[in-house]
Structure 1
Amino acid sequence: MQNDEMVPAGYTTERVGFFTDAVFAIAMTLLVIDIPKPEEGTEFEVAEVGRAEAARNLLHFLYEQIPSFSAYLLAFYILWVVWRQHHQLLDRLVRMSPGLIRLHFPLLLLAGLLPYATTVYDHNTLNPAAAGLFTVAVATLLLLRSGVQRRALNDGLLRDDVDLDVYRRDARISWIVGWYFLATLLFCWFTPWLTFLWFGAPLLGGVLNRRAGLDSVRLGG
């Protein structure tokens, strides 16, 4: 694909990038809205129960929200990673293709759904169905991200200066992480311990990327 090839109307990367940025930014912001907040009441008011008691009550309340904060952190990080990889992908493309544009519909649909799935899990952390919903939403989003990467390669949309070996390596790691997250669905009955497996997904991606980088250095030497 040549960089100076005429791009048909509706297939430039800029508008797709702008719209994707907006959807991800809104989704990442919505994640925090439904985290429970202290309600007005005497148990948190220093004038009513004293400074020490009010502090203990508030700390106890925040401690009870640890599952909510954990889900928020994980969902935010997942959206950040998918957005960041999408940003990098668009910088490597000459243009969009019909197939690639079609894949953005379910990708952005799942990105917009993730705050809802996170809220359902926040309010029902012991419910296996809530954990399953969150797992499926995140795993599908990750797999769609990998599908977008593959479609760009298959449609010949990458710039001439893109290292295809590195691109394919990164794409393989993306698939592995996505399938790993989906596999955690088998353990949804053991929620909330499932959270530890969920946080294993980004750790797995980091280990695989680091190992791939070290292997490349060895081969280069």
Structure 2
Amino acid sequence: MSGPARPEPGLSPERLAFFTDAIFAIAMTLLAVELGRPDEKELVSVRALGSFLVDRRNSYLAFALAFVLLWSVWRRHHELMDRIGGLSRAFTAWHAPFLLLVAFLPFPTAVIGTSIGNPLAQTLFAGTMAAMVFCEAVIKDIAGNSGLVTGDPAEIHRHAGASWGVGLWFVLSIGAAWLFPYAFVLWFVAPLAATYGGALISRLRTSPAGHPDLRNGDRPRT
């Protein structure tokens, strides 16, 4: 009697999930490592330490923002992997740029922590986030299109639409950063882009114009 079917070597969902979790954990830890530490002269009095903490308030803001963003991306990926029944080579390959950007995020976070009003610093952070969630969206679309998920693939495509919406919101903030020094405030309302922008993108992607049968001049069957 043969045992249960084993995945093709290199295409084990559990191993990919464990590796992804490890990269996220390391990146989220490095966000704190990048925070500056007070030296001896800044620890001699309450006033000196208070001045040190106030001077680095932007670093703490950047840390909190990046941590929450990484947490939300990780949670969405965790939910996706819990529904994955198998892997494809394309699904696995797209994790390389996705995780590269996750591991890279502590660097632009440290940069905006020291110069949060600098448009180039904001461009670096927003560009990294946009590329990351675009990779996330592609991974979700591949999962839905390739039959890798259990349940309704349409739900995965809706989640992908939300990721596309967030990515486009970060791209929009890049343009705003060169016009307004406080364009980074847009990042705090990225969940609205996921909710409303994602819903709009999902409707556009499932509109009659995008239906494969209608593009061929046919009518959908009822």
Shorter-chain TM-score bucket reads: 0.7 to 0.9
Return the alpha-carbon distance in structure 1 between the equivalents of residues 141 and 156 of structure 2.
10
Do 1:177 and 1:205's aligned partners in 2 also have CA atoms closer than 8 Å? yes
CA-to-partner distance for each residue in 1:68-89, whole Å, 9 max, x for gaps? 1111111111111111111111
TM-score (norm 1): 0.80
Quote the offset at 1:187 in angstroms. Answer: 1.6
Do 1:110 and 1:140's aligned partners in 2 also have CA atoms closer than 8 Å? yes
Q: SS of the residue aligned with 1:201?
A: helix
Whether 1:109 aligns to 2:110 is no
Do 2:56 and 2:114's aligned partners in 1 also have CA atoms closer than 8 Å? no
Query: Residue 173 of structure 2 corresponds to which residue in structure 1?
Result: 184
Question: What is the RMSD of the two structures over their aligned residues, measured on CA atoms?
Answer: 2.2
Return the alpha-carbon distance in structure 2 between the equivalents of residues 163 and 148 of structure 1.
16
Whether 1:26 aligns to 2:26 is yes
Whether 1:202 aligns to 2:175 is no
Query: Residue 14 of structure 1 corresponds to which residue in structure 2?
Result: 14
Identity of aligned residues (%): 38
Equivalent of 2:69, from 74, 78, 83?
78
- CA 1:191/1:28 → structure 2, altered by over 3 Å: closer, same or farther? farther
Q: SS of the residue aligned with 1:68?
A: helix
Read off the aligned partner of 1:188 and give its amino acid letter: A
Query: Residue 168 of structure 1 corresponds to which residue in structure 2?
Result: 157
Do 2:27 and 2:106's aligned partners in 1 also have CA atoms closer than 8 Å? yes
Do 1:131 and 1:191's aligned partners in 2 also have CA atoms closer than 8 Å? no
Quote the offset at 1:107 in angstroms. Answer: 0.4
Gaps of 5+ in 1: 46-53, 211-221
Number of paired residues?
196
Q: SS of the residue aligned with 2:11?
A: coil
Quote the offset at 1:144 in angstroms. Answer: 0.8
Q: SS of the residue aligned with 1:32?
A: helix
Return the alpha-carbon distance in structure 2 between the equivalents of residues 37 and 195 of structure 1.
25
Return the alpha-carbon distance in structure 1 between the equivalents of residues 89 and 71 of structure 2.
25
Quote the offset at 1:199 in angstroms. Answer: 0.9
Query: Residue 208 of structure 2 corresponds to which residue in structure 1?
Result: none
Q: SS of the residue aligned with 2:40?
A: coil
Return the alpha-carbon distance in structure 2 between the equivalents of residues 73 and 206 of structure 1.
22
Do 1:127 and 1:191's aligned partners in 2 also have CA atoms closer than 8 Å? no
Query: Residue 40 of structure 1 corresponds to which residue in structure 2?
Result: 40
Quote the offset at 1:157 in angstroms. Answer: 0.8
Gaps of 5+ in 2: 200-222
Return the alpha-carbon distance in structure 2 between the equivalents of residues 120 and 191 of structure 1.
18
TM-score (norm 2): 0.80
Return the alpha-carbon distance in structure 1 between the equivalents of residues 35 and 194 of structure 2.
27
